[in-house]
């Protein structure tokens, strides 16, 4: 299966180009936006998304490519209380992220 193949269990959020599980899709939640930088490697960003945001490897890889080619990507949605520790952990790892 290619990293670009989508299955029926997931939905592509066309506003942010992120593959989301059905329980993560909601218009009234906040999101973590991850920005591209010139010093973190693809492998490090993928590993960070898996560990911090609990992405599966395919989702982490897709988000990493989107960040690289588009400059930013919504990597997680939820309440501020849920997202704040994740965003802080990404920042502590040297990634550039914010909650919107």
Look at residue 48 and tell me if it is in a domain.
yes
Q: Which domain holds residue 33?
A: 23-99
Q: What are the tens digits of pLDDT across the range 67-95?
A: 999 999 999 999 999 999 999 999 999 99
Closest by alpha carbon to 66, among 21, 27, 36, 24?
36
Whole-number Å distance between alpha carbons of 29 and 78: 5
Task: Report the distance separating Cα 87 and Cα 33, nearest Å.
Answer: 9
Q: What is the CATH number of the domain that holds 44?
A: 3.30.1390.10
Q: What is the count of structural domains for the chain? A: 1
Within a domain: residue 60? yes
In a domain, 55, yes or no: yes
Residue 10 lies in a domain: no
Q: What are the pLDDT digits (tens) for 13-68?
A: 545 555 555 555 555 689 999 999 999 999 999 999 999 999 999 999 999 999 99
Nearest to 45 by CA among 100, 98, 94: 94
**Is 6 domain-assigned?**
no
45 within some domain: yes
């Amino acid at each position: 299966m290619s990293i670009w193949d989508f299955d029926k269990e997931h939905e592509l959020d066309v506003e942010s180009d992120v593959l989301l599980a059905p329980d993560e899709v909601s218009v009234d939640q906040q999101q973590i936006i991850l920005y591209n930088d010139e010093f973190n490697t693809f492998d490090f960003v993928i590993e960070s998304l898996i560990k911090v945001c609990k992405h599966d490897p395919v989702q982490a890889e897709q988000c990493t490519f989107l960040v690289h080619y588009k400059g930013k990507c919504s990597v997680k949605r939820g309440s501020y209380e849920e997202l704040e520790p994740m965003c802080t952990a990404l920042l502590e790892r040297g990634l550039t992220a914010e909650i919107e």
